[in-house]
Chains A and B, each alone.
Chain A
Amino acid sequence: MAKTVLLVEDEPNIVEAIGFILSRSGYQVHSHGDGATAVQTVRREAPDMLILDLMLPNRGGLDILRDLRADPDLKSLPVLMLTARGQKKDREQAELFGVSAFMSKPFANGDVLERVRALIGEA
């Protein structure tokens, strides 16, 4: 069974591009664009990994990450966080909350695929 990736990102064209790349490589990709309900969606969908944007409408990625790490069931869920360049403080905060890896925007498609494989293995 294909491994699932949940992409929490509010930019539809980024979602489409990453979704396409990961799907073509065999992963099953779901997306969600609202920060406020992201944690519930993670619990419901129970993905193998999460790609989480830092800046989301209604609730930021850092708050979502903190809530996930406080949940024993999601404590070890691999989380790849998407940040903009220069957000050093946010990166430090995310490390403190237990993020698995970072990627800076703009990123190359190949790098995203490589990170996903490194975190959850081949599809």
Chain B
Amino acid sequence: MPKTALMGSRIRERRQVLGMKQAELARAAGISASYLNLIEHNRRKIGGKVLLGIAQALQVDVTALTEGAEEALLDALREAAAVSRRDEAETDRMEEFVARFPGWAQLVAAQRRRILSQDRSIAALNDRLTHDPVLSEAMHDILSTVTAIRSTVSILAETPELEAVWRDRFLRNLQEESTRLVDGSQSLVSYFEDQVRTDTPFTTPLEALEVFLARRDFHLPDLEALAGPEAVAPAVEALLEAAEELNTPQARALGQTYLTRYARLALRLPADRIAALWRETPDPGALARQTRVGLADIMLRLALVPAEALGTRLGLVICDAAGALLFRKVPDGFPVPRFGAACAVWPLFQALSRPTIPAHALVETPPGRRFETWTVATPEGIAGFDTPPVFRAAMLIGPDTGALPPESAAPVGTTCRICPRPGCAARREPSILLE
């Protein structure tokens, strides 16, 4: 199985730090110097005994050579190649490209993200123009007024023998409609002005909240040490006031809901307590039983505690019953699509088909990295006899601790278009990596 990309660059860096020559390392690892040279230039993928030999000779753990942040970069490049209508991108040499031209690779990935973001803006604006009820009603009003004016003016102009009573009536109608037209036009102009004032680079409130949280690494010290429940609202208000990302009423409303939940959770489960419990028993189920806090809340709380306190970095993804991702704290090496649908095989989505039943599972991403996941789907709000419950699923993602047998690891991907797994029953579109 191919290992993580750009391992070669990491091997070369580590060798140079140790002051070893290529020949020395090759000898210690039991391979030829020319083969090592190819490996260090990312032109040969290695695994198994060769990788183990090199890691031992470099006095590092294998994972130090195989894990890296470049997966996200490679994924972005794969996506860029996937949407291109031309088949000119040498996808089989992508790793070499990243290694040899890291700056250019970052630029291509950044351009890809920018294009995606702009595509979303255009789609959102188009959606607004097509479906905005305020705009639609205003336009209909104006068109109706113009219609009445046009018809009335035509009658006045084209009927010379028009009786005085009719003429007066139509003139009065014209007066009414012209006043209405002025009012309608002014309210339409005000509406657009308000849009310009409140529009942000973020196309949706959810995206604005994601950016707000990601910039703070999902940890808000201002909400961590509150004196009591009465301190929640003022603290949330102060944070919202200062949050430049949440500058639309909709984004602030979403932020208020989320931050209030955060603050209440932090009051019930202080960071040092939940961190100590996790270090003792890294199992959200056990923590829920000990603290008598629901599983979904425990998982969210764990994702909000800094990695230094937990001893590991945990990711969390939450989706609604339609599969739309509502929260994504991306764990290292577990690429989550920024836009569009994720991998249908993720335990997150399986959880929706067995609501309230928690599951602990091992998954393996295409580069061969394993992660432990804890998932559960729970109802939102309180269902009534005449209203079915609405479920949301949450998936906590952490590094493989060895608690589950490696052979149980389920193969998952990021999103179909850049997934290299053949014969997947959940595939919804062809992958560029299999074409």
On whether A16 and B154 interact (CB within 8 A), knowing A105-B144, A105-B147, A106-B147, the answer reads no
- In the bound complex, what is the Cα–Cα distance between A107 and B140 (angstroms)? 14
Contact of B148 among A17, A24, A55 (CB under 8 A): A17
Q: Does A21 contact B (CB under 8 A)?
A: yes
* Pairwise interchain contact B140-A16, C-beta atoms closer than 8 A: no
Q: Are B140 and A11 in contact (CB under 8 A)?
A: no
Write the chain B residue with the least CB distance to A53.
B144
Rounded to whole angstroms, the CA-CA distance of A96 and B173 in the bound complex is: 36
Decide yes or no: A18 and B151 within 8 Å by CB, A13-B173, A13-B176, A13-B177 being known contacts: yes
B window 126-140: CB within 8 A of A: 139-140
Q: Which of B140, B149, B151, B158 counts the most chain A CB atoms within 10 A?
A: B151
Question: Is the beta-carbon distance between B177 and A105 smaller than 8 angstroms?
Answer: no
Contacts of A108 in B (CB 8 A): 150, 154
B166 within 8 A of A: yes
A93 within 8 A of B: no
| A39 and B177 alpha carbons, distance in the complex (Å) | 29
Q: CB within 8 A of B151: which of A17, A84, A85?
A: A17
Q: Chain B: which residue is nearest A21 at the CB level?
A: B155
Minimum CB–CB distance for A107 against chain B, Å? 7
Contacts of B169 in A (CB 8 A): 16
C-alpha spacing A13/B403, complex, angstroms: 77
Interfacial chain B residues near A11, Cβ < 8 Å: 144, 147-148
> Could you say which of B143, B146, B155, B176 contacts A17, with CB atoms under 8 Å apart?
B155
Distance to closest chain B CB from A55 (angstroms): 5
Question: Contact partner of A109 among B139, B143, B154, B170, CB < 8 A?
Answer: B154
Chain B hits for A20, CB < 8 A? 155, 166
A106 to B152, CA, bound (A): 12
Least Cβ distance of B171 to chain A in Å?
12
Q: How many residue pairs, one in A and one in B, have C-beta atoms under 8 Å apart?
A: 54
Q: B residues within 8 A CB of A13?
A: 148, 152, 173, 176-177
Q: Could you say which residues of chain A place their CB within 8 Å of the CB of B154? A: 17, 108-110
Is A2 on the interface with B (CB-CB < 8 A)?
Answer: no
- Kindly identify which residue among B143, B155, B159, B176 contacts A106, using a CB–CB cutoff of 8 Å: B143
CB atoms of B148 and A14 under 8 A apart: yes
Judge whether B148 and A21 touch: CB under 8 Å.
no
How far is the CB of A67 from the nearest CB of chain B, in Å? 22
Given A13-B177, A17-B148, A20-B166, A105 and B155 contact (CB-CB distance below 8 Å): no
A residues in contact with B152, CB < 8 Å: 13, 16-17
Most chain B CB within 10 A, of A13, A16, A18, A84, is at A13
Q: State which of B139, B150, B158, B177 has its C-beta within 8 Å of the C-beta of A84.
A: B139
* Closest CB in chain B relative to A37 CB, distance in Å: 20
Query: Shortest beta-carbon distance, A52 to chain B, in Å?
Result: 14
Q: Tell me which residues across on chain A come within 8 A of B143, comparing CB atoms.
A: 84-85, 105-106
Could you tell me if B155 and A14 are in contact, using CB atoms closer than 8 angstroms?
Answer: no
Please report the C-alpha to C-alpha distance between residue A55 and residue B136 in the assembled complex, in whole angstroms: 11
Question: A84, B140: Cβ atoms under 8 Å?
Answer: yes
| Interface pair A14/B144, CB less than 8 Å apart | yes
Check A105/B146 contact, CB under 8 A, given A17-B155, A20-B155, A84-B140.
yes
How far, in angstroms, from A109 to B144 measured CA to CA in the complex? 14
A84 to B138, CA, bound (A): 12
Cβ contacts under 8 Å, A17 to chain B: 148, 151-152, 154-155, 170, 173
A107 touching B155 in the complex, CB below 8 Å, given contacts A20-B166, A55-B140: no
Q: What distance in Å separates the Cβ of B253 from its nearest Cβ neighbour in chain A? A: 30
Which A residues from 1 to 41 make CB contacts under 8 A with B? 11, 13-14, 16-18, 20-21, 24
Give the Cβ gap from A96 to chain B, nearest Cβ, in Å. Answer: 20
Q: Considering only CB atoms, which chain B residue lies closest to A15 in the complex? A: B148
Which B residues from 167 to 205 make CB contacts under 8 A with A?
169-170, 173, 176-177
| Highest count of chain A CB atoms <10 Å: which of B146, B147, B152 | B147
With a CB–CB cut-off of 8 A, which chain B residues contact A24?
A: 159
- Bound-state CA distance A81–B362 (Å) is 60
Give every chain B residue within 8 A of A55 (Cβ-Cβ).
140
- 30 A-B pairs within 8 Å (CB atoms) are namely A11-B148, A13-B148, A13-B152, A14-B151, A16-B169, A16-B173, A17-B151, A17-B152, A17-B155, A20-B166, A21-B151, A21-B155, A24-B159, A84-B139, A84-B140, A84-B143, A85-B143, A105-B143, A105-B144, A105-B146, A105-B147, A106-B146, A106-B150, A107-B147, A107-B151, A108-B154, A109-B154, A109-B155, A109-B158, A110-B154
**Closest A-B pairs by Cβ, 7 of them:** A17-B151, A13-B148, A106-B147, A105-B147, A13-B173, A106-B146, A105-B143
- Extra 5 A-B pairs, beta carbons < 8 Å, given A13-B152, A17-B173, A84-B139: A11-B148, A14-B151, A24-B159, A109-B155, A110-B154
A positions within 8 Å CB-CB of B:
11, 13-14, 16-18, 20-21, 24, 55, 84-85, 105-110
